[in-house]
């Protein structure tokens, strides 16, 4: 019988091929990801012989299989469960699943009794049949976009029983915290099948308010929430954390100098870095900083947590990217998703550089579509100062729901991979594009396998180089202003 889930898998395979060809992705892998199960070598000749007899490799088999499925000729797929399992594993691997996902799938598959495995097999066959009937009925319709949404193969459902992700959120009773926590709990951040344990940190004065937030969380009856911790102790909040989202920070008070703001926040983030180092999951913890000044707070947190690789820390610049891309889409009268490769460079501050020089609308360069004067005099300052504009419009209250949403996007991409799409993120610099090693600088990155790689070797013109350098210099000054705290 033909399998429509396999049709979809083939589409993902094509995407993956394209991604590999770009060669812009440099992998930083840390923690336990990337481990292969020595027992299963899906590239071995035995495996190919078993699942794809007569073919050179699995990809060739897959392509042939696909074209047969599209022409409506019946295709045999091996029926024994062990083989189907290996095929599923190979499909997941080809479509960019992490080693961790593959291991989980394998573990869960093995946990099932033969009877359960048979039931899953039956269910998937029935579902495929329904799709097939619909496709036969509406022959002139292109089903590929619809099929791509039904990507849950029976094998992937094995992933549903994953361990909960422990997510620590600081400043949990603040504005952003309130807009964020409910979205994490609903599954928007880690996906609708990943349970979460929320570990919420606040200052002692805000614990009562946090209690109210927890009551509301309870009242939502989110099925994915497997536990909630509400505390004013960083060590409790970060205990065993897979992800730490550092939102809480000291706001800039009236008359406060930027250097005071830097110092006061540096003190908070040193304490939190030390606590993360002591009690979080070590090399498997990932940390995203939102609290301002976000890049330098990330630098301080990472410097205080030597057991966690610096590549696991990042400062959020996705809100700036989202702000910019929306303005571009409005200007060009297109959809957000039609614009690719728009990027924020540098610091999350007014020196950030929102850059369209690599961006495309479908196959056209944005630099050919956008008025240059609008770009330099309206767009760039507009993105840089958007935060202040929002504060003005909201009578003194800063961006909250949009910041929370950008954080959901940031972690979703890091956790799930971007399949070749670029995302802006302030990550540890090893000197790329002339930035001082060790700073956290916003670059275009591609996520895969719970890690990221900077898109390298992009041509940088003089205009861009000057803007990028300006932000770099500001980050160096911020680093120097907090140097005393790192001795
Ligand atoms: P709020 O003042 O509403 O909330 C901050 C919360 O953090 C408060 O509840 C406070 O009690 C708590 N807090 C303070 N110190 C803490 C500590 N040591 N441990 C735990 N909790 C602590 O601010 P909110 O609007 O939520 O903004 C939070 C931070 O995000 C600010 O620093 C803000 O500047 C920054 N932003 C960063 C953005 C970005 O794109 N990176 C954009 C939005 C936002 O401006």
**Does residue 322 sit in the same domain as residue 178?**
no
**Does residue 9 sit in the same domain as residue 62?**
yes
Say what the pLDDT of residue 42 is. 55
Cis peptide before 293 (omega within 30 of 0): yes
**Mutational test site, ligand 1, from 174, 181, 260, 275, max ligand atoms within 8 Å of CB:** 174
Q: What is the whole-number distance in angstroms between the Cα of residue 483 and the centre of ligand 1?
A: 23
Domain total of the chain? 3
Q: Nearest residue CA, atom 27 of ligand 1? A: 176
Return the structure tokens found at 114.
């033969």
**Does residue 244 sit in the same domain as residue 129?**
no
**Does residue 306 sit in the same domain as residue 332?**
no
Paired with 340 in beta bridges are 360
**Does residue 241 sit in the same domain as residue 306?**
yes
Say what the pLDDT of residue 131 is. 65
Indicate the residue among 121, 143, 160 that finishes a domain: 160
What is the rounded average pLDDT of the residues 62-71? 52
Q: Show the ligand 1 pocket: residues with CB < 6 angstroms.
A: 170-171, 173-177, 201-203, 206, 247-251, 268, 290-292, 294, 316, 319, 348, 387, 398-400, 403
Q: How much of the chain exceeds pLDDT 90, in percent?
A: 59
Say what the pLDDT of residue 259 is. 79
Q: What is the whole-number distance in angstroms between the Cα of residue 219 and the centre of ligand 1?
A: 25
Say what the pLDDT of residue 16 is. 32
**Does residue 325 sit in the same domain as residue 467?**
yes
Q: What is the whole-number distance in angstroms between the Cα of residue 172 and the centre of ligand 1?
A: 9
**438 pLDDT higher than 70:** yes
What is the rounded average pLDDT of the residues 101-106? 74
**Mutational test site, ligand 1, from 290, 384, 411, max ligand atoms within 8 Å of CB:** 290
**Does residue 8 sit in the same domain as residue 133?**
yes
Q: What is the whole-number distance in angstroms between the Cα of residue 113 and the centre of ligand 1?
A: 49
Cα angle, residue 459 at apex, residues 453 and 465 outer, rounded to 5°: 95
**Phi, then psi, of 285 in degrees rounded to 5:** -90, 140
**477 pLDDT higher than 90:** yes
Is residue 348 flagged as an active site residue? yes
Residue 177 Cα: closest atom of ligand 1: 26
pLDDT tens for 301-342 read: 999 999 999 999 999 999 999 999 999 999 999 999 999 999
- The angle that helices 462-481 and 258-279 make with each other, rounded to 10 degrees, is 80
- For every residue of 278-341, DSSP letters joined together read HHS-GGG-EEEE-SSSHHHHHHHHHHT-TTS-GGGEEE--HHHHHHHHHHHHHHHT--GGGEE-
Q: Are strands 364-365 and 360-361 parallel, antiparallel or unpaired?
A: antiparallel
Say what the pLDDT of residue 249 is. 95
Q: What is the whole-number distance in angstroms between the Cα of residue 248 and the centre of ligand 1?
A: 4
Q: What is the whole-number distance in angstroms between the Cα of residue 292 and the centre of ligand 1?
A: 8
Q: Residue 219, exposed/middle/buried by CB under 10 A (0-12, 13-18, 19+)? A: exposed
CA distance 242 to 400: 24
**Does residue 379 sit in the same domain as residue 409?**
yes
**Does residue 275 sit in the same domain as residue 344?**
no
Indicate the residue among 160, 183, 198 that finishes a domain: 160
What is the rounded average pLDDT of the residues 259-274? 92
**Does residue 150 sit in the same domain as residue 174?**
no
**49 pLDDT higher than 50:** yes
Say what the pLDDT of residue 11 is. 32
More confident residue, 419 or 165: 165
| pTM tops 0.85 | no
Residue 294 Cα: closest atom of ligand 1: 41
Domain CATH code at residue 433:
3.90.110.10
**Does residue 242 sit in the same domain as residue 261?**
yes
**Mutational test site, ligand 1, from 168, 176, 232, max ligand atoms within 8 Å of CB:** 176
- For every residue of 72-137, DSSP letters joined together read T-------SHHHHHHHHHHHHHHTT--HHHHHHHHHHHHHS-HHHHHHHHHHHHHHHHHHHHHHHH
Say what the pLDDT of residue 41 is. 55
Out of 33, 348, 358, 472, pick the active-site residue.
348
Tell me which residue range forms the domain holding 434. 318-486
Domain CATH code at residue 288:
3.40.50.720
More confident residue, 248 or 32: 248
**Does residue 363 sit in the same domain as residue 256?**
no
Indicate the residue among 131, 160, 189 that finishes a domain: 160
3 state SS of 190: coil
Residue 268 Cα: closest atom of ligand 1: 18
């Amino acid at each position: 019988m033909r399998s429509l889930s396999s049709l979809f898998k083939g589409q993902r395979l094509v995407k993956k091929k394209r991604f590999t060809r770009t060669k812009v992705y440099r992998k930083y892998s840390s923690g336990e990801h990337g481990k292969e199960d020595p027992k299963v070598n899906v590239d071995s000749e035995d495996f190919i012989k078993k699942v794809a007899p007569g073919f050179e490799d699995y990809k060739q088999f897959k392509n042939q299989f696909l074209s047969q499925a599209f022409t409506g000729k019946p295709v045999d797929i091996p029926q024994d469960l062990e083989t189907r399992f290996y095929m599923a594993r190979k499909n997941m691997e080809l479509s960019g699943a992490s080693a961790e996902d593959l291991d989980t799938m394998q573990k869960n598959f093995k946990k099932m009794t033969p009877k359960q495995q048979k039931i899953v097999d039956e269910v998937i066959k029935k579902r495929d049949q329904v799709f097939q009937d619909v496709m036969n009925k509406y022959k002139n319709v292109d089903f590929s976009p619809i099929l791509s949404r039904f990507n849950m193969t029976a094998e992937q459902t094995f992933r549903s029983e994953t361990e909960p992700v422990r997510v620590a959120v600081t400043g949990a009773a603040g504005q952003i915290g309130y807009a964020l926590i409910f979205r994490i709990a609903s599954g928007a951040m880690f996906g609708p099948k990943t349970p979460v344990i929320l570990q919420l940190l606040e200052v002692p004065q805000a614990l009562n308010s946090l209690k109210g937030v927890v009551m509301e969380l309870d009242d939502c009856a989110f099925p994915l929430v497997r536990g909630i911790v509400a505390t004013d102790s960083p060590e409790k909040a970060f205990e065993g954390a897979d992800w730490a989202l550092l939102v809480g920070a000291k706001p800039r008070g009236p008359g406060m100098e930027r250097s005071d703001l830097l110092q006061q926040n540096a003190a908070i983030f040193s304490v939190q870095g030390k606590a993360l180092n002591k009690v979080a999951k070590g090399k498997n913890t990932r940390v995203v900083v939102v609290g301002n000044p976000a890049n330098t707070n990330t630098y301080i947190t990472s410097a205080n947590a030597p057991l966690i690789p610096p590549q696991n820390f990042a400062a959020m610049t996705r809100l700036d990217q989202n702000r910019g891309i929306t303005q571009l889409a409005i200007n060009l009268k297109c959809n957000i998703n039609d614009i690719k490769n728009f990027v924020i460079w540098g610091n999350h501050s007014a020196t950030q550089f929102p850059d369209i020089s690599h961006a495309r609308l479908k196959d056209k360069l944005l630099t050919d579509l956008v008025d240059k004067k609008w770009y330099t005099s309206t767009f760039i300052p507009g993105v840089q100062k958007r935060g202040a504009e929002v504060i003005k419009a909201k009578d003194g209250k800063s961006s909250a729901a949009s910041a929370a949403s950008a954080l959901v996007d940031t972690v979703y991409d890091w956790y799930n991979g971007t399949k070749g799409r670029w995302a802006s993120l302030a990550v540890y610099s090893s000197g790329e594009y002339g930035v001082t090693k060790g700073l956290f600088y916003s670059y275009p990155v591609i996520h895969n396998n719970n890690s990221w790689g900077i898109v390298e070797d992009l041509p940088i013109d003089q205009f861009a180089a000057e803007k990028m350098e300006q932000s770099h210099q500001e980050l160096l000054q911020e680093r120097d202003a907090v140097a005393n705290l790192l001795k």
